Structure 1
């Protein structure tokens, strides 16, 4: 066997993931009738002889499955499927997770389809959520209490508590039942 193919068959990792060659090799093994038949017997916890192949073809298929990391001959002399190989392939093929900011983690934890599951009780998390909610209000625009309630009800049923938190944290200012945004971050790129 060529050194490069042998290395791929062992499932070596390159750049933090399984090599493309190892993935192609395993997929190729699944495509071949003889190896698929032997693999199926092993998956059903049957002896490879039950694959219906002649002995030489079965032994050749077992050898290819072993080199591909899909079968193992255990210490008792029994062939078994190495199911964990499929998990290795899945992890190798998955794209690396995108870095997520601490604020994004909080928002993902508390927002489901744009609505708050709950208003966070911890102040640092509450500030992240309130800042997110405050983004809906345009700086410099005056809102009636009724309009504020309609907007906040879209986020959470307890719109009064949400409104109170926004005012208490200085994200909204209230005077004579008129509200305006007075704090929070401003998206200058989108402006």
Structure 2
């Protein structure tokens, strides 16, 4: 689901009357007349809101002569929730530009002009940005003996032990018998 579609659904649901109608219809099917009485609005107003909810697939309508009965389309609401509110989907809504801007700002704060760390950040979120930057200094698939790894890290900061532990702890690198390698990035 694209962000524009998500915004349309959220706008649709950001109306108090529509939310009340969905809540009422969650318990059982109701006619337009019943709904008008319950929420104390005129039938044409209720019909207008129901038409919008029906168009979005959130309610289903059944005609019985001249009377229209509505019920909640629970499966559509559940599908919408699954599509909108997963962490993976939320990340795409944030856009890559904003995340990149944050990373650039953090790196600008903690790196000097020679790509040396002025300080290892204390804040975890900022430290993770620096560690993701640092791991890029290592080739994927290549194995690094600890002395070689230390030399590369020393180009950027003298505390090789802390940075080695952090790279392992954040699962950006792995270690076995004094040999280190870069782990593949987790897929989103």
| TM-score range relative to shorter protein | 0.3 to 0.5
Q: TM-score, normalised by structure 1?
A: 0.44
**Based on CA coordinates, which of the two structures has the bigger radius of gyration?**
1
